[in-house]
A and B are shown apart, each in its own frame.
Chain A
Protein backbone atom coordinates (compact mmCIF):
# COMPACT_ATOMS: atom_id res chain seq x y z
CA UNK A 1 0.00 0.00 0.00
CA UNK A 2 2.84 2.34 0.96
CA UNK A 3 4.61 1.65 -2.33
CA UNK A 4 1.47 2.41 -4.34
CA UNK A 5 0.99 5.73 -2.50
CA UNK A 6 4.63 6.64 -3.18
CA UNK A 7 4.25 5.82 -6.88
CA UNK A 8 1.12 7.97 -7.10
CA UNK A 9 2.93 10.85 -5.44
CA UNK A 10 5.96 10.49 -7.71
CA UNK A 11 3.98 10.17 -10.96
CA UNK A 12 3.28 13.94 -11.47
CA UNK A 13 6.89 14.77 -10.70
CA UNK A 14 8.06 12.27 -13.31
CA UNK A 15 5.64 13.68 -15.83
CA UNK A 16 6.85 17.19 -15.06
CA UNK A 17 10.42 16.07 -15.59
CA UNK A 18 9.58 14.49 -18.92
CA UNK A 19 7.58 17.46 -20.23
CA UNK A 20 9.23 20.86 -20.74
CA UNK A 21 7.86 23.76 -18.78
CA UNK A 22 5.74 26.32 -20.73
CA UNK A 23 8.49 28.91 -20.22
CA UNK A 24 11.10 26.60 -21.76
CA UNK A 25 8.71 25.55 -24.51
CA UNK A 26 7.93 29.15 -25.49
CA UNK A 27 11.36 30.76 -25.06
CA UNK A 28 13.60 27.96 -26.23
CA UNK A 29 12.23 24.71 -27.58
CA UNK A 30 9.69 26.23 -29.96
CA UNK A 31 12.45 27.68 -32.18
CA UNK A 32 14.79 24.74 -31.65
CA UNK A 33 12.12 22.30 -32.81
CA UNK A 34 11.11 24.47 -35.71
CA UNK A 35 14.69 24.92 -36.94
CA UNK A 36 15.59 21.36 -35.95
CA UNK A 37 18.45 22.54 -33.75
CA UNK A 38 19.39 19.65 -31.38
CA UNK A 39 18.94 21.06 -27.85
CA UNK A 40 20.10 17.83 -26.23
CA UNK A 41 23.36 17.81 -28.21
CA UNK A 42 24.08 21.37 -27.10
CA UNK A 43 23.34 20.42 -23.47
CA UNK A 44 25.72 17.45 -23.74
CA UNK A 45 28.52 19.70 -25.04
CA UNK A 46 27.94 22.16 -22.21
CA UNK A 47 27.87 19.31 -19.72
CA UNK A 48 31.10 17.81 -21.02
CA UNK A 49 32.80 21.20 -20.99
CA UNK A 50 31.57 22.75 -17.73
CA UNK A 51 30.38 19.78 -15.63
CA UNK A 52 27.95 21.47 -13.21
CA UNK A 53 24.66 23.31 -13.82
CA UNK A 54 25.96 26.35 -12.00
CA UNK A 55 29.01 26.62 -14.27
CA UNK A 56 26.88 26.03 -17.39
CA UNK A 57 24.50 28.77 -16.27
CA UNK A 58 27.39 31.21 -15.80
CA UNK A 59 28.50 30.57 -19.41
CA UNK A 60 25.09 30.22 -21.08
CA UNK A 61 23.40 33.43 -19.91
CA UNK A 62 26.08 35.82 -21.32
CA UNK A 63 26.08 33.80 -24.56
CA UNK A 64 22.29 34.05 -24.93
CA UNK A 65 22.49 37.82 -24.47
CA UNK A 66 25.14 38.16 -27.12
CA UNK A 67 25.56 34.98 -29.19
CA UNK A 68 28.49 34.75 -31.62
CA UNK A 69 30.10 31.90 -33.44
CA UNK A 70 33.28 32.56 -31.50
CA UNK A 71 31.65 32.29 -28.09
CA UNK A 72 29.44 29.37 -29.04
CA UNK A 73 30.08 25.97 -27.53
CA UNK A 74 29.33 24.34 -30.89
CA UNK A 75 32.05 23.72 -33.51
CA UNK A 76 32.30 25.82 -36.71
CA UNK A 77 30.94 22.95 -38.82
CA UNK A 78 27.73 23.17 -36.82
CA UNK A 79 26.95 26.57 -38.34
CA UNK A 80 27.25 25.20 -41.86
CA UNK A 81 24.08 23.30 -41.18
CA UNK A 82 22.34 25.49 -38.59
CA UNK A 83 21.88 29.26 -38.47
CA UNK A 84 23.66 31.57 -36.06
CA UNK A 85 21.47 32.21 -33.05
CA UNK A 86 20.12 35.70 -32.50
CA UNK A 87 20.15 37.43 -29.11
CA UNK A 88 17.12 36.61 -26.97
CA UNK A 89 14.76 39.44 -26.36
CA UNK A 90 14.11 38.59 -22.71
CA UNK A 91 14.57 40.46 -19.51
CA UNK A 92 17.14 39.21 -16.98
CA UNK A 93 14.62 37.34 -14.82
CA UNK A 94 12.92 35.59 -17.72
CA UNK A 95 16.28 34.66 -19.19
CA UNK A 96 17.54 33.22 -15.90
CA UNK A 97 14.32 31.30 -15.40
CA UNK A 98 14.43 29.94 -18.94
CA UNK A 99 18.05 28.77 -18.51
CA UNK A 100 17.12 27.19 -15.18
CA UNK A 101 14.18 25.40 -16.84
CA UNK A 102 16.47 24.24 -19.67
CA UNK A 103 19.01 22.80 -17.26
CA UNK A 104 16.30 21.28 -15.14
CA UNK A 105 14.67 19.62 -18.15
CA UNK A 106 17.86 17.97 -19.33
CA UNK A 107 19.30 17.46 -15.82
CA UNK A 108 21.54 14.42 -15.91
CA UNK A 109 20.70 13.47 -12.32
CA UNK A 110 17.09 12.81 -13.30
CA UNK A 111 18.00 10.73 -16.32
CA UNK A 112 20.49 8.34 -14.77
CA UNK A 113 19.28 4.94 -13.56
CA UNK A 114 21.05 1.93 -12.09
CA UNK A 115 21.74 -0.81 -14.60
Chain B
Protein backbone atom coordinates (compact mmCIF):
# COMPACT_ATOMS: atom_id res chain seq x y z
CA UNK B 1 0.00 0.00 0.00
CA UNK B 2 1.31 3.47 -0.90
CA UNK B 3 2.19 5.86 1.94
CA UNK B 4 -0.27 8.53 0.76
CA UNK B 5 -2.96 5.88 0.33
CA UNK B 6 -2.28 4.62 3.86
CA UNK B 7 -2.56 8.17 5.20
CA UNK B 8 -5.86 8.80 3.39
CA UNK B 9 -7.27 5.46 4.48
CA UNK B 10 -6.22 6.08 8.08
CA UNK B 11 -7.89 9.51 8.09
CA UNK B 12 -11.06 8.13 6.55
CA UNK B 13 -11.17 5.22 9.01
CA UNK B 14 -10.59 7.54 11.98
CA UNK B 15 -13.39 9.92 11.03
CA UNK B 16 -15.84 7.25 9.88
CA UNK B 17 -15.28 4.79 12.72
CA UNK B 18 -15.10 7.37 15.52
CA UNK B 19 -18.35 9.03 14.41
CA UNK B 20 -20.06 5.64 13.99
CA UNK B 21 -18.85 4.40 17.38
CA UNK B 22 -19.87 7.61 19.15
CA UNK B 23 -23.33 7.33 17.60
CA UNK B 24 -23.71 3.67 18.56
CA UNK B 25 -22.31 4.27 22.02
CA UNK B 26 -24.86 7.03 22.60
CA UNK B 27 -27.70 4.85 21.32
CA UNK B 28 -26.59 1.93 23.51
CA UNK B 29 -26.22 4.23 26.54
CA UNK B 30 -29.76 5.56 26.09
CA UNK B 31 -31.09 2.01 25.61
CA UNK B 32 -29.21 0.86 28.73
CA UNK B 33 -30.62 3.73 30.81
CA UNK B 34 -34.18 2.93 29.70
CA UNK B 35 -33.74 -0.80 30.29
CA UNK B 36 -32.19 -0.15 33.68
CA UNK B 37 -35.16 1.99 34.64
CA UNK B 38 -37.49 -0.80 33.54
CA UNK B 39 -35.58 -3.43 35.52
CA UNK B 40 -35.53 -1.19 38.59
CA UNK B 41 -39.22 -0.48 37.98
CA UNK B 42 -39.95 -4.21 38.15
CA UNK B 43 -38.00 -4.47 41.39
CA UNK B 44 -39.82 -1.39 42.66
CA UNK B 45 -43.17 -3.07 41.93
CA UNK B 46 -42.11 -6.09 44.00
CA UNK B 47 -40.89 -3.78 46.77
CA UNK B 48 -44.08 -1.75 46.57
CA UNK B 49 -46.28 -4.84 47.02
CA UNK B 50 -44.24 -5.75 50.12
CA UNK B 51 -44.76 -2.21 51.42
CA UNK B 52 -48.51 -2.62 50.95
CA UNK B 53 -48.39 -5.89 52.91
CA UNK B 54 -46.58 -4.12 55.76
CA UNK B 55 -49.13 -1.28 55.62
CA UNK B 56 -51.96 -3.80 56.12
CA UNK B 57 -50.14 -5.29 59.09
CA UNK B 58 -49.59 -1.81 60.55
CA UNK B 59 -53.31 -1.08 60.18
CA UNK B 60 -54.18 -4.32 61.95
CA UNK B 61 -51.67 -3.58 64.69
CA UNK B 62 -53.01 -0.06 65.13
CA UNK B 63 -56.56 -1.35 65.49
CA UNK B 64 -55.73 -4.11 67.97
CA UNK B 65 -53.02 -2.15 69.81
CA UNK B 66 -51.98 -5.29 71.67
CA UNK B 67 -49.00 -4.73 73.90
CA UNK B 68 -46.24 -5.34 73.04
CA UNK B 69 -46.81 -4.00 69.59
CA UNK B 70 -44.89 -6.42 67.37
CA UNK B 71 -43.56 -4.58 64.34
CA UNK B 72 -44.29 -6.49 61.10
CA UNK B 73 -40.87 -7.65 60.00
CA UNK B 74 -40.10 -9.02 56.53
CA UNK B 75 -36.74 -10.84 56.49
CA UNK B 76 -36.18 -10.19 52.78
CA UNK B 77 -36.36 -6.43 53.06
CA UNK B 78 -35.53 -3.65 55.50
CA UNK B 79 -38.33 -1.32 56.57
CA UNK B 80 -38.80 1.72 58.79
CA UNK B 81 -41.68 4.03 59.66
CA UNK B 82 -41.44 7.82 60.01
CA UNK B 83 -44.04 10.29 61.29
CA UNK B 84 -45.36 13.33 59.42
CA UNK B 85 -42.46 15.42 60.73
CA UNK B 86 -40.11 12.84 59.17
CA UNK B 87 -38.94 11.63 62.59
CA UNK B 88 -37.93 8.00 62.94
CA UNK B 89 -40.55 5.93 64.82
CA UNK B 90 -39.41 2.37 64.45
CA UNK B 91 -37.86 0.00 61.93
CA UNK B 92 -35.54 -2.86 61.18
CA UNK B 93 -33.04 -0.39 59.77
CA UNK B 94 -32.39 3.32 60.04
CA UNK B 95 -30.92 4.91 56.92
CA UNK B 96 -28.42 7.70 57.51
CA UNK B 97 -29.68 9.74 54.58
CA UNK B 98 -33.13 9.69 53.01
CA UNK B 99 -33.98 11.35 49.70
CA UNK B 100 -37.49 12.46 50.68
CA UNK B 101 -38.12 14.13 47.32
CA UNK B 102 -37.66 10.85 45.42
CA UNK B 103 -40.17 8.04 46.03
CA UNK B 104 -37.75 5.58 44.40
CA UNK B 105 -33.99 5.87 44.49
CA UNK B 106 -30.83 3.81 44.65
CA UNK B 107 -28.01 4.28 47.10
CA UNK B 108 -25.03 2.10 47.88
CA UNK B 109 -26.29 -0.82 45.70
CA UNK B 110 -29.68 -0.75 47.44
CA UNK B 111 -33.11 0.20 46.14
CA UNK B 112 -35.20 2.47 48.39
CA UNK B 113 -38.94 3.01 48.10
CA UNK B 114 -40.82 5.60 50.13
CA UNK B 115 -44.45 4.59 50.60
CA UNK B 116 -46.85 7.29 51.81
CA UNK B 117 -49.41 6.24 54.46
CA UNK B 118 -52.77 7.86 55.14
CA UNK B 119 -54.29 7.56 57.71
CA UNK B 120 -51.25 7.42 59.91
CA UNK B 121 -51.43 3.95 61.43
CA UNK B 122 -49.24 3.93 64.57
CA UNK B 123 -48.47 7.55 63.65
CA UNK B 124 -46.57 6.44 60.53
CA UNK B 125 -46.78 8.82 57.61
CA UNK B 126 -43.90 7.31 55.64
CA UNK B 127 -42.96 3.68 55.26
CA UNK B 128 -39.48 3.26 53.82
CA UNK B 129 -38.63 -0.15 52.42
CA UNK B 130 -35.29 -1.20 51.00
CA UNK B 131 -33.64 -4.21 49.48
CA UNK B 132 -30.37 -4.95 47.74
CA UNK B 133 -30.60 -4.40 43.99
CA UNK B 134 -30.73 -7.67 42.09
CA UNK B 135 -27.88 -7.04 39.67
CA UNK B 136 -28.27 -10.23 37.65
CA UNK B 137 -30.63 -8.75 35.02
CA UNK B 138 -28.47 -5.60 34.84
CA UNK B 139 -25.29 -7.67 34.39
CA UNK B 140 -26.99 -9.73 31.68
CA UNK B 141 -28.04 -6.49 29.97
CA UNK B 142 -24.48 -5.10 30.11
CA UNK B 143 -23.09 -8.37 28.71
CA UNK B 144 -25.58 -8.38 25.83
CA UNK B 145 -24.98 -4.72 25.02
CA UNK B 146 -21.17 -5.18 25.11
CA UNK B 147 -21.48 -8.16 22.77
CA UNK B 148 -23.75 -6.14 20.49
CA UNK B 149 -21.26 -3.23 20.46
CA UNK B 150 -18.37 -5.58 19.66
CA UNK B 151 -20.25 -7.18 16.76
CA UNK B 152 -21.33 -3.79 15.44
CA UNK B 153 -17.81 -2.37 15.80
CA UNK B 154 -16.29 -5.35 14.00
CA UNK B 155 -18.86 -5.14 11.22
CA UNK B 156 -18.40 -1.41 10.74
CA UNK B 157 -14.60 -1.69 10.87
CA UNK B 158 -14.67 -4.25 8.06
CA UNK B 159 -17.19 -2.14 6.14
CA UNK B 160 -15.06 0.99 6.64
CA UNK B 161 -11.91 -0.77 5.39
CA UNK B 162 -13.79 -2.04 2.34
CA UNK B 163 -15.29 1.40 1.61
CA UNK B 164 -11.98 3.14 2.28
CA UNK B 165 -10.16 0.93 -0.20
CA UNK B 166 -12.94 1.46 -2.70
CA UNK B 167 -12.67 5.25 -2.35
CA UNK B 168 -8.89 5.38 -2.49
CA UNK B 169 -8.67 3.04 -5.50
CA UNK B 170 -8.77 5.86 -8.13
CA UNK B 171 -6.06 7.77 -6.22
CA UNK B 172 -3.94 4.61 -5.92
CA UNK B 173 -4.28 3.95 -9.65
CA UNK B 174 -3.28 7.54 -10.49
CA UNK B 175 -0.21 7.40 -8.25
CA UNK B 176 0.80 4.01 -9.62
CA UNK B 177 0.39 5.33 -13.15
CA UNK B 178 2.56 8.35 -12.32
CA UNK B 179 5.22 6.18 -10.68
CA UNK B 180 5.23 3.86 -13.67
CA UNK B 181 5.66 6.86 -15.96
CA UNK B 182 8.60 8.17 -13.91
CA UNK B 183 10.11 4.68 -13.82
CA UNK B 184 9.79 4.26 -17.60
CA UNK B 185 11.10 7.77 -18.27
CA UNK B 186 14.14 7.34 -16.03
CA UNK B 187 14.83 3.94 -17.58
CA UNK B 188 14.66 5.40 -21.07
CA UNK B 189 16.87 8.37 -20.01
CA UNK B 190 19.67 6.21 -18.67
CA UNK B 191 21.05 4.85 -21.94
CA UNK B 192 21.21 8.15 -23.92
CA UNK B 193 22.74 10.04 -20.95
CA UNK B 194 25.44 7.40 -20.47
CA UNK B 195 26.14 7.44 -24.20
CA UNK B 196 26.47 11.24 -24.25
CA UNK B 197 28.79 11.35 -21.23
CA UNK B 198 31.00 8.50 -22.50
CA UNK B 199 31.29 10.05 -25.91
CA UNK B 200 32.17 13.50 -24.48
CA UNK B 201 35.02 11.88 -22.54
CA UNK B 202 36.15 10.06 -25.68
CA UNK B 203 36.05 13.26 -27.70
CA UNK B 204 38.14 15.05 -25.03
CA UNK B 205 40.76 12.32 -24.67
CA UNK B 206 41.12 10.91 -28.20
CA UNK B 207 40.24 13.85 -30.44
CA UNK B 208 41.25 17.42 -30.01
CA UNK B 209 37.93 19.17 -30.11
CA UNK B 210 37.68 22.80 -31.28
CA UNK B 211 34.40 23.70 -29.61
CA UNK B 212 35.62 23.28 -26.03
CA UNK B 213 33.07 25.74 -24.61
CA UNK B 214 30.17 24.02 -26.34
CA UNK B 215 31.48 20.63 -25.25
CA UNK B 216 31.57 21.83 -21.63
CA UNK B 217 27.96 22.98 -21.87
CA UNK B 218 26.94 19.57 -23.23
CA UNK B 219 28.85 17.91 -20.37
CA UNK B 220 27.17 20.11 -17.72
CA UNK B 221 23.73 19.47 -19.16
CA UNK B 222 24.39 15.72 -19.34
CA UNK B 223 25.66 15.62 -15.73
CA UNK B 224 22.53 17.43 -14.60
CA UNK B 225 20.39 14.89 -16.42
CA UNK B 226 22.49 12.08 -14.95
CA UNK B 227 21.93 13.33 -11.38
CA UNK B 228 18.24 13.74 -12.04
CA UNK B 229 18.16 10.14 -13.16
CA UNK B 230 20.00 9.08 -9.98
CA UNK B 231 17.57 11.07 -7.77
CA UNK B 232 14.49 9.64 -9.43
CA UNK B 233 15.91 6.12 -9.17
CA UNK B 234 16.70 6.75 -5.49
CA UNK B 235 13.16 7.92 -4.76
CA UNK B 236 11.70 4.99 -6.65
CA UNK B 237 13.69 2.31 -4.80
CA UNK B 238 14.22 4.19 -1.54
CA UNK B 239 12.15 1.83 0.57
CA UNK B 240 13.16 -1.40 -1.10
CA UNK B 241 16.84 -1.47 -1.94
CA UNK B 242 19.34 -3.16 0.35
CA UNK B 243 21.49 -0.70 2.27
CA UNK B 244 25.03 -1.45 3.36
CA UNK B 245 25.82 0.82 6.27
CA UNK B 246 29.58 1.18 6.55
CA UNK B 247 32.07 3.49 8.26
CA UNK B 248 32.45 5.93 5.40
CA UNK B 249 35.20 8.50 4.97
CA UNK B 250 32.88 11.42 4.31
CA UNK B 251 35.83 13.83 3.76
CA UNK B 252 37.05 11.73 0.84
CA UNK B 253 33.55 11.38 -0.59
CA UNK B 254 32.89 15.13 -0.28
CA UNK B 255 36.09 15.90 -2.21
CA UNK B 256 35.09 13.37 -4.86
CA UNK B 257 31.66 14.93 -5.28
CA UNK B 258 33.13 18.44 -5.44
CA UNK B 259 35.36 17.15 -8.20
CA UNK B 260 32.28 15.74 -9.93
CA UNK B 261 30.60 19.13 -9.68
CA UNK B 262 33.72 21.02 -10.77
CA UNK B 263 32.40 21.41 -14.33
CA UNK B 264 29.23 23.00 -13.03
CA UNK B 265 31.18 25.22 -10.58
CA UNK B 266 33.53 26.37 -13.31
CA UNK B 267 30.67 26.95 -15.73
CA UNK B 268 29.06 29.31 -13.23
CA UNK B 269 32.46 30.76 -12.26
CA UNK B 270 31.81 30.23 -8.58
CA UNK B 271 34.42 31.01 -5.90
CA UNK B 272 34.73 27.74 -4.05
CA UNK B 273 36.03 27.99 -0.51
CA UNK B 274 36.32 24.59 1.12
CA UNK B 275 37.40 23.75 4.64
CA UNK B 276 37.26 19.98 4.86
CA UNK B 277 38.77 18.24 7.85
CA UNK B 278 40.50 15.02 6.82
CA UNK B 279 39.30 11.48 7.56
CA UNK B 280 35.92 12.38 9.06
CA UNK B 281 33.91 9.18 9.20
CA UNK B 282 30.24 8.46 9.73
CA UNK B 283 28.12 5.30 9.66
CA UNK B 284 26.10 5.48 6.44
CA UNK B 285 25.26 3.67 3.21
CA UNK B 286 27.42 5.10 0.41
CA UNK B 287 24.53 5.71 -2.01
CA UNK B 288 22.61 7.58 0.72
CA UNK B 289 25.69 9.72 1.44
CA UNK B 290 26.15 10.49 -2.29
CA UNK B 291 22.49 11.50 -2.67
CA UNK B 292 22.75 13.68 0.45
CA UNK B 293 25.93 15.51 -0.62
CA UNK B 294 24.97 15.76 -4.31
CA UNK B 295 21.63 17.34 -3.58
CA UNK B 296 23.11 19.86 -1.11
CA UNK B 297 25.89 20.82 -3.53
CA UNK B 298 23.59 20.80 -6.55
CA UNK B 299 21.15 23.20 -4.89
CA UNK B 300 24.02 25.42 -3.66
CA UNK B 301 25.37 25.64 -7.22
CA UNK B 302 22.05 25.87 -9.02
CA UNK B 303 20.65 28.69 -6.88
CA UNK B 304 23.94 30.58 -6.64
CA UNK B 305 24.52 33.79 -8.53
CA UNK B 306 27.14 33.87 -11.26
CA UNK B 307 30.63 34.36 -9.76
CA UNK B 308 29.06 33.92 -6.34
CA UNK B 309 30.75 32.37 -3.32
CA UNK B 310 30.32 28.69 -2.46
CA UNK B 311 31.55 27.75 0.99
CA UNK B 312 31.83 24.11 2.00
CA UNK B 313 32.88 23.21 5.53
CA UNK B 314 33.15 19.73 7.00
CA UNK B 315 33.99 18.97 10.62
CA UNK B 316 33.47 15.95 12.83
CA UNK B 317 30.18 17.56 13.96
CA UNK B 318 28.62 18.94 10.83
CA UNK B 319 28.57 19.60 7.13
CA UNK B 320 27.82 23.23 6.20
CA UNK B 321 27.28 24.48 2.67
CA UNK B 322 26.61 28.16 2.06
CA UNK B 323 25.91 29.94 -1.21
CA UNK B 324 25.14 33.46 -2.31
CA UNK B 325 21.91 34.17 -4.06
CA UNK B 326 18.31 35.14 -3.72
CA UNK B 327 17.87 33.17 -0.50
CA UNK B 328 14.64 31.67 0.74
CA UNK B 329 11.78 33.43 2.48
CA UNK B 330 11.45 32.36 6.11
CA UNK B 331 7.86 31.14 5.68
CA UNK B 332 8.90 28.94 2.73
CA UNK B 333 11.77 27.12 4.47
CA UNK B 334 9.61 24.34 5.92
CA UNK B 335 7.42 24.19 2.80
CA UNK B 336 10.22 23.50 0.31
CA UNK B 337 11.24 20.35 2.17
CA UNK B 338 8.15 18.66 0.75
CA UNK B 339 8.41 16.72 -2.48
CA UNK B 340 7.71 18.58 -5.78
CA UNK B 341 7.65 22.00 -4.05
CA UNK B 342 10.14 24.67 -5.08
CA UNK B 343 10.74 28.22 -3.86
CA UNK B 344 12.52 29.50 -6.96
CA UNK B 345 10.99 28.34 -10.22
CA UNK B 346 13.51 30.20 -12.41
CA UNK B 347 15.90 27.27 -12.26
CA UNK B 348 15.17 23.79 -13.64
CA UNK B 349 14.29 20.81 -11.46
CA UNK B 350 11.45 18.78 -9.99
CA UNK B 351 11.69 19.92 -6.39
CA UNK B 352 12.79 16.52 -5.10
CA UNK B 353 16.28 17.47 -3.81
CA UNK B 354 15.31 18.62 -0.31
CA UNK B 355 12.86 15.74 -0.01
CA UNK B 356 15.75 13.30 -0.61
CA UNK B 357 17.94 15.20 1.90
CA UNK B 358 15.10 15.04 4.42
CA UNK B 359 14.68 11.28 3.93
CA UNK B 360 18.40 10.56 4.45
CA UNK B 361 18.55 12.86 7.49
CA UNK B 362 15.53 11.14 9.03
CA UNK B 363 16.86 7.65 8.33
CA UNK B 364 20.19 8.32 10.07
CA UNK B 365 18.84 10.62 12.81
CA UNK B 366 20.88 13.60 11.65
CA UNK B 367 19.77 17.16 12.29
CA UNK B 368 19.01 19.34 9.30
CA UNK B 369 18.56 23.10 9.21
CA UNK B 370 18.35 25.86 6.62
CA UNK B 371 19.13 29.46 7.49
CA UNK B 372 18.70 32.10 4.86
CA UNK B 373 19.04 35.86 4.47
CA UNK B 374 17.01 36.92 1.44
CA UNK B 375 19.14 38.38 -1.38
CA UNK B 376 22.33 37.44 0.48
CA UNK B 377 23.12 33.90 1.57
CA UNK B 378 21.59 30.52 2.30
CA UNK B 379 23.27 28.03 4.60
CA UNK B 380 22.40 24.34 4.83
CA UNK B 381 23.68 22.52 7.92
CA UNK B 382 23.68 18.79 8.60
CA UNK B 383 24.60 17.83 12.16
CA UNK B 384 25.83 14.26 12.27
CA UNK B 385 24.89 13.68 15.93
CA UNK B 386 21.54 14.59 17.47
Contact = CB atoms under 8 A, between A and B. Distances in A.
B238 interface: no
Mostly, the B contact residues are: loop
Contacts of B83: 51-52
Interface string A45-60: 0011111101100000
Question: Interface extent on A, as a size class?
Answer: 10 to 19
A47 B119 CA distance: 9
Contacts of B72: 115
Interface stretch (A29-37, A86-94, A106-114): A106-114
B73 A47 contact: no
A86 to B, nearest CB: 27
Given A47-B122, A48-B119, A111 B84 contact: no
Contact of B122 (A55, A108, A114): A108
B158 to A, nearest CB: 62
A113 B70 contact: yes
Given A48-B62, A51-B120, A52-B123, A111 B89 contact: no
Contacts of B85: 51-52, 54-55
A113 to B, nearest CB: 4
A115 B71 contact: yes
B170 interface: no
A104 to B, nearest CB: 14
Contact of B120 (A40, A47, A54): A47
A109 B92 contact: no
A114 B92 contact: yes
B65 A40 contact: yes
A51 B126 CA distance: 10
B147 interface: no
A87 B70 CA distance: 36
Contacts of B120: 47-51
Contact of A108 (B70, B89, B92, B125): B89
A69 interface: no
A50 B122 CA distance: 10
Interface of A: 40, 44, 47-52, 54-55, 108-109, 111-115
5 contacts: A49-B119, A50-B120, A51-B83, A51-B85, A52-B85
Interface of B: 62, 65, 67-73, 83-85, 87, 89-90, 92, 119-125
Given A113-B68, A114-B70, 17 more contacts: A47-B62, A47-B120, A48-B62, A48-B120, A50-B84, A51-B83, A51-B125, A52-B123, A55-B84, A108-B122, A109-B90, A112-B68, A112-B71, A112-B89, A113-B71, A114-B73, A115-B72
Q: Which 4 A-B pairs have the closest CB atoms?
A: A51-B84, A51-B120, A52-B83, A112-B90
